[in-house]
Every structure is written in C-alpha cells, then in structure tokens.
C-alpha cells in the first residue's frame, strides 16, 4: 500500500514518485482529452450517421459537453471537498469511460428512423455525462497532484497533466489517421466506432488503479481542522455542509473565480481555436494531407518537449510569471502566426513552423502548468470546487464556442480569428496583473500552497517588488 505523502530525494525524484504512485490519475487525463479530440476528428462520420449531414447540429452537440463542464466542476468539486479527492477522481473516470465507450455503441439512422432518433438522444445524454465527468476530472486530478507532490517541484509535477493532455490529442489524431487505412467504405459503416470503443482498455485500467490510491494528506488535515471548528449538525459530509461550502465559495471568492476564468482564456482559445479550428480551416483551403499531419504532430510533440523546461522555470521563477510571459507572447504572436499560416497554407515550412512550432511553444507556456496557477488561488477547504468551477466555466466560454466564434468571424473578415487569438492572450495577461494588484492591496490571497516563488522574473525578487516593476 503506498504511503499517504511523498518525500522526494530531490525535486525531479519527487516528480518521478508522483508518476509512479499516481499514474492512474494521469492515464485518466489522457482519456479525457482523447475523447474530446477523437469526436472532433470523426465529426464527418458523426454528422452523417446522427444529424443528416448537418455540421451545425454536430458541433452544437460537441459544444453541449463544454456547457456541462462547469456543472461537473462544481458538483464533483464539492464531492471531492466533502468526501475526498480519491472519491471524486473515481467517479469522474468511471463516467468518462462510460460516456466515451457508449458513443461507439449507439444505433444510428442506418438502423432505421426510430433507432436513429434513439441514437441521437443517447448521444446527447452521453455528451452531457462526458461534460459533467470531465469537468470534475481536471479539478480533482490537479488538486490531488499538487497536494501530494513536493513543494519544490509543484510545476514539474503538474506538467504531467499538460503532457498527458497533449498525449490524448496526439493519440486521437493518430487513431483517426490509422483507421483511414481500412478504407472509406468500412470506416463509414463501422470503423468510426472503434476509436470510441477501444477507450475501454485504458479506462478500465485507470478505474482500477484509482481504487488503490492514497488520499491527499492536505485534504485529511483540512477536514480534521474543519471538523473541530464545526458543530455536529454542520458536518462536512452533510447536504447542509455542501450548501455552506458553495455559498462560501461564491460569496467570498468570486473575484478569485473571475481571475481563474480569465487565466483559462489563452489556453482554451489556443486549443480549440488555434489548433482545432485552424486545422479544419487549412483542410478546407486544400492544404496537403501530409502537411496537416506533420503540423498536428509537431504541435503536440513540441509542447511536450518544451514542458520540462517551462515547468522548471515555473518552479524557479514562479507560476504567475510563466503564465504572464506565455500570455504576453500569445498576445503579440497570435495574429502574425495565423496570418502567415493562412497566407501560405500550402507551404510546409509556413504551416509546420507557425502551427506546429509556434503554437506548440505558446501552448507549453500557457497550458502545461496552467492548472498550478488555478490550484494556488484557492484554500484547501474549497479548492476542488473552486478550480472546477473557474477553469471549466472559462473553458466553456472561451474554448467550447471558439470554433463557432472563429468560423463566424472568418466569414466576415479572414484576419479576424488571428485577432481573437491575440485577444485571448491579452485577457489572460490582464487577469494575472489584476490578481497581483488585488493581492498587493490585501483583497486577495494568491499562493495558498507555495508563496515563493510566485512572480519572480529574476528568480530572486519578492512578489511586491516584482509587482512594482510591471506596474510602472
């Protein structure tokens, strides 16, 4: 039985210990992002079998998952704050596996009108279930890892979430391309189901693995402290306790929730606008298939290759500084990278350079350690719910509707999507600076786990001094 706490020999060994003991969390995170990506890549087949070739209806069904993410983030977040991180992660992985595998076993209009109507209804329900469970998954996993890992290597531990996110997208893309080898005819009839159904293998392994994980010691200490301060009638496991936690979160931490939502703007717009929608745009413009494949793989591998360096910098100079630097870079380069890529959509160097290397580098800064920034915003008593609500609401607003926003903007002005990418970077930059100003005035506490380093451009100055520098 693994120990409840990790005592690493050094910073990097602490990351290795997290990987060895909490691998089931990371495998579930791969499954989460795999499902979102594989639905996108298989959209033409889903559109044909369930929605009578209506692309709008298909993407609306995709978006409904994001609408439910805040609900799941709050519901499973409260579950994790009341009964433990382990309980929350187990429920989320089981629901995600059911939602993913179930989509590959639905009846379609190929089986008749009645069967098709039932299939559409079940598809929507499974997408809603997927949204609820993935909304709770990311908050529970990030909270769990930061509470059990070494403070010296928090960013290097949390980078495992960012890496597994890119792995999920990469596996989905590879699976979709591999399935095309069986031929269009077989793919249209039954092949599109396989990428969903094979998720039962990693899903089952992750579900079994999470049953054996130890509970977070920080959660156990926080619950014991809260139990001593609360009367028996307001115990943490009661419905009244859940309502009190939610009321406390919304009334006392609403500025923090807004900061958390803003911090998700850059990564969510980049994921589903810059990477997903732009890939579809290039395909429609006639970009060579091999160029698209190379660009997509390069973007994901690039973000994973840069991840250790970015995480190390976050542990040395602070997570707020890294997010600030990455969002500023996106604000300045989002528009130019988009324009060069679209203007030279048949150029291998331009597409792979801008989409693969450019977006991949920015993603490593705004996405690899973003969850650490969010986890640091909330105290342990409301951390799971706070992270779940702020992150998922931000991802819903900025990520879930990004493809629709980009498509509508592109129809009016071809350069407009690039402006939205830069705007998203500016939103996250503003959120970081605003939070530092509020902390300086004593209206917000930012770093609840590791106060230093938090925002140290030189790796040695104190937060207050750094804030004066950036606000001159």
Give the number of other Cβ atoms within 10 Å of residue 7's Cβ: 9
Taking residues 459-469, what's their average pLDDT? 46
Judged against a pLDDT cut of 90, whether residue 381 lies above it is answered with: no
Distance of CA 281 to the CA centre of its chain: 23
Out of 103-107, 235-239, 286-290, 440-444, the most confident range is: 103-107
Q: Quick one: pLDDT at residue 11?
A: 59
Q: Which residue, 94, 323, 56, 369, is CA-closest to 206?
A: 94
Most confident listed range (81-95, 107-121, 144-158, 235-249): 107-121
Per-residue model confidence (pLDDT) at position 425: 95
Q: Using one digit for the tens of pLDDT, what is the confidence trace for 175-225? A: 877 777 787 788 888 888 888 998 888 888 887 877 766 665 655 666 666
Among 150-164, 165-179, 213-227, 353-367, the minimum mean pLDDT is found in: 213-227
d(CA 287, CA 297): 15
Give the least confident one: 111-115, 198-202, 247-251, 412-416.
247-251
Is residue 237's pLDDT more than 70? no
Interacting residues of 96 by C-beta distance below 8 A, sequence separation 6+: 28, 31, 32, 35, 130, 133, 134, 137, 203
Of residues 13, 327, 2, 19, the one with CA closest to residue 153:
13
Mean pLDDT of the chain: 80
pLDDT tens string 420-437: 999 999 999 999 999 999
Please give the structure tokens belonging to residue 181.
């080898």
pTM of the model: 0.76
Q: What is the largest CA-CA distance in the chain?
A: 68
User: Which of the 8 DSSP states describes residue 271?
Assistant: I
The answer to which of 165-174, 240-249, 314-323 has the lowest mean pLDDT is 240-249
Domains detected in the chain? 1-244 (1.20.1250.20), 254-377+401-472 (1.20.1250)
Low-confidence winner among 145-149, 233-237, 262-266 (lowest mean pLDDT): 233-237
What DSSP state is assigned to residue 198? T
* Of the candidate ranges 113-122, 153-162, 253-262, the one whose mean pLDDT is the lowest: 153-162
Query: What whole-number distance in Å separates Cα of residue 180 and Cα of residue 188?
Result: 10
Asked if 373 and 319 touch (Cβ cutoff 8 Å), the reply is yes
CA 280 to chain centre: 21
Using CB atoms within 10 Å of the CB of residue 208, give its burial: 0 to 12 exposed, 13 to 18 middle, 19+ buried: exposed
Q: What is the pLDDT of residues 306-350, one digit of tens each?
A: 988 999 899 888 899 999 999 999 999 999 999 999 999 999 999
Residue 292 has pLDDT above 60, yes or no: yes
First to last CA, the chain: 53
Phi and psi torsions of 398, nearest 5°: -90, -30
């Amino acid at each position: 039985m693994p120990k409840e706490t990790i005592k690493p020999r050094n910073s990097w060994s602490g990351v290795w210990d997290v990987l060895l003991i909490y691998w089931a969390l990371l495998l579930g995170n791969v499954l989460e992002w795999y499902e979102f990506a594989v639905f996108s890549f298989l959209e033409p087949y889903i559109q044909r079998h369930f929605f009578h070739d209506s692309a709008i209806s298909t993407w609306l069904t995709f978006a409904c998952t994001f609408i439910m993410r805040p609900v799941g983030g709050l519901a499973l977040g409260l579950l994790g704050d009341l009964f433990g991180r382990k309980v929350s992660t187990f429920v989320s992985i089981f629901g995600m596996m059911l939602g993913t595998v179930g989509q590959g076993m639905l009846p379609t209009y190929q089986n008749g009108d009645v069967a098709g109507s039932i299939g559409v209804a079940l598809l929507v329900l499974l997408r809603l279930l997927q949204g609820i469970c993935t909304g709770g998954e990311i908050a529970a996993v990030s909270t769990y890892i930061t509470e059990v890992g070494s403070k010296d290597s928090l960013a290097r531990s949390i980078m495992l979430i960012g890496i597994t996110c890119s792995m999920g997208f990469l596996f989905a893309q590879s699976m979709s391309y591999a399935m095309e080898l069986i031929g269009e005819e077989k793919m249209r009839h039954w092949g599109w189901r396989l990428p969903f159904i094979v998720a039962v293998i990693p899903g089952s392994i992750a579900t079994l693995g999470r049953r054996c994980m130890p509970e977070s010691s920080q959660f156990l200490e926080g619950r014991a402290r809260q139990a001593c301060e609360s009367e028996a009638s307001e115990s943490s496991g009661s419905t009244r306790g859940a309502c009190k936690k939610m009321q406390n979160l919304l009334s006392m931490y609403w500025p923090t929730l807004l900061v958390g939502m803003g911090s998700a703007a850059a990564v969510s717009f980049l994921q589903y606008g810059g990477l997903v929608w732009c890939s579809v745009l290039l395909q429609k413009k006639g970009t060579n298939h091999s160029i698209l494949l190379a660009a997509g793989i390069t973007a994901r591998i690039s973000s994973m290759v840069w991840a250790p360096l970015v995480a190390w910098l976050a542990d040395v100079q602070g997570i707020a500084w890294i997010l600030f630097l990455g969002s500023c870079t996106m604000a300045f380069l989002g528009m130019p990278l988009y324009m060069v890529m679209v203007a030279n959509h048949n150029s291998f160097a331009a597409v792979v350079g801008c989409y693969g290397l450019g977006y991949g580098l920015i993603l490593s800064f705004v996405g690899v350690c973003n969850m650490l920034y969010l986890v640091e915003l909330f105290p342990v008593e409301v951390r799971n719910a706070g992270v779940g609500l702020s992150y998922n609401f931000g991802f819903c607003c900025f990520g879930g509707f990004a493809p629709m926003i980009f498509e509508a903007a592109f129809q009016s002005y071809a350069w407009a999507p690039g402006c939205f990418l830069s705007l998203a970077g500016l939103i996250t930059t503003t959120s970081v600076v605003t939070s530092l100003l509020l902390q300086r005035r004593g209206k917000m506490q930012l770093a609840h786990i590791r106060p230093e380093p938090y925002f140290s451009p030189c790796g040695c100055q104190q937060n207050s001094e750094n804030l004066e520098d950036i606000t001159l």
